[in-house]
Amino acid sequence: MDAIGKVAVLGIGVLGSQIAFQVAYSGFEVTAYDIDTKALEEADRRLSGLIGSYEKLVPGATAGKATQARDRIVLTADLAAAVADADLVIEAVPEVLALKQEIYGKISRLAPAGTIFATNSSTLLPSEMKDFTGRPDRFLALHFANQIWRFNTAEVMGTPETDPAVFDRVVAFAKAIGMVPIPLRKEKAGYVLNSLLAPFLSAAANLAAGDYAHPHDVDKVWRIATGAPVGPFQIFDIIGLVTPYNIMSHGDERSQEIAAWLKENYIDKGKLGVATGEGFYSYK
C-alpha cells in the first residue's frame, strides 16, 4: 500500500495544533481545518506559538526548520477543501460524541473513498463513530499525548472492522512523524496511557483532598520511592486541572467531592497548571 503523503487535521485546538505542527515538522503537507474565522485566528496563534516551543524544546530544531514547518500548514474553514486530496484525516474536534459523528458524516461524503480517517479521541471508542465514516475498514483511533514533541507516544486502536493493512499503514505513519507507535490489540476506553493514569491521578487527589498528605509530599514519596522523575501533582499541572476536574465531576460521589476540592482550592483561584503559571506548583 502507498505511504501516506497529504494529511488533514480537523480541529486546531490544544492537540490539533500540536498534531498539525508535528506532522508538518516531519515534512508532510498539512491542511488544518477549524470552524470559523475566529477559531482560525486562535489556531494561527497556537501554531505560531509552537514555532518557539519547538526551537526551545526539540533537540536539533532550528528557527528555520520550525518556521518551515509552520509554512507547510494551510489553515482553512472550508471542510471540503481540507479533505479533498488527503490520504489521512486526523480528527481532533472537542470530545463530544454527537459532534464527532456529525463531522464524520460530512467528511464521509467529502473525502475520497481511499482516505483513512483517524480520531484522536481520548475517552470515546472508535466503534461509536465508525458507522458515520462511510468506510469502517479505513477508520481507527490514533491517540497522541499533550506536548507531542516530548511525550511522543501514538496509541493506535482499531475496531473489529478496521483493515489490518490500514492499521499497519497508520503505525508506519506514526513512526514517520517521530512517534513511538503503541498498537492496541482490541478496543479499550482510555487506551493504555489513560487506563493507567486516570486511577493513579485519582488516587493521588484522594490523598490530598482527604487531607492525608500535602500534594508536594505525595509527589515526593512517588519520586523517591519509585525513581519516577515526576509525581502525580506535577502531572496534573502539565495536563491542566480543568480536564481532570471535568472527568471527576461526572464520576461517583467521592470523585465529585474531589472535583469540588480541585475547583475550590485551585481552579477558582486561577491555578490551572503550567499553562497559567501556577497549579499545585508555581512556574512564575
Q: What residues line the site for ligand NAD (CB under 6 A)?
A: 10-16, 34-35, 39, 43, 92-95, 99, 103, 120-122, 143-144, 146
Euclidean distance between CA atoms 160 and 171, whole angstroms: 17
Give least dist CB 226 to ligand NAD, A. Answer: 24
Which single residue brings its beta carbon nearest to ligand NAD? 13
DSSP string, 157-208: EE-TTS-HHHHHHHHHHHHHTT-EEEE-SS--TTTTHHHHHHHHHHHHHHHH
Q: Residue 4 corresponds to which amino acid?
A: I
Helix, strand, coil: what percent of the chain each, to 5?
Answer: 50, 15, 35
Backbone φ/ψ region at 27: left (φ over 0), alpha (ψ -120 to 50), beta = left
Of 141 and 259, nearer to ligand NAD (C-beta) is: 141
Give least dist CB 212 to ligand NAD, A. Answer: 28
**Which sign does the torsion angle of CA 250, 252, 258, 261 carry?**
positive
Give least dist CB 247 to ligand NAD, A. Answer: 10
- C-alpha cell, 148: 507531542
Of 15 and 205, nearer to ligand NAD (C-beta) is: 15
Of 13 and 183, nearer to ligand NAD (C-beta) is: 13
Of 13 and 134, nearer to ligand NAD (C-beta) is: 13
- C-alpha cell, 73: 500548514
Of 120 and 159, nearer to ligand NAD (C-beta) is: 120
Q: What is the DSSP letter of 273?
A: B
Give least dist CB 134 to ligand NAD, A. Answer: 17
Give least dist CB 97 to ligand NAD, A. Answer: 10
Closest by Cα among 1, 2, 5 to 177? 5
Give least dist CB 222 to ligand NAD, A. Answer: 21
Phi, psi angles (nearest 5°) of residue 198: -60, -50
Give least dist CB 39 to ligand NAD, A. Answer: 4
| CB atoms closer than 10 angstroms to residue 229 | 8
Euclidean distance between CA atoms 242 and 97, whole angstroms: 19
Of 92 and 156, nearer to ligand NAD (C-beta) is: 92
Q: Residue 130 corresponds to which amino acid?
A: K
Give least dist CB 142 to ligand NAD, A. Answer: 10
Q: What is the DSSP letter of 136?
A: G
Of 65 and 106, nearer to ligand NAD (C-beta) is: 106
SS3 label, residue 206: helix
Of 36 and 268, nearer to ligand NAD (C-beta) is: 36
| CB atoms closer than 10 angstroms to residue 240 | 18
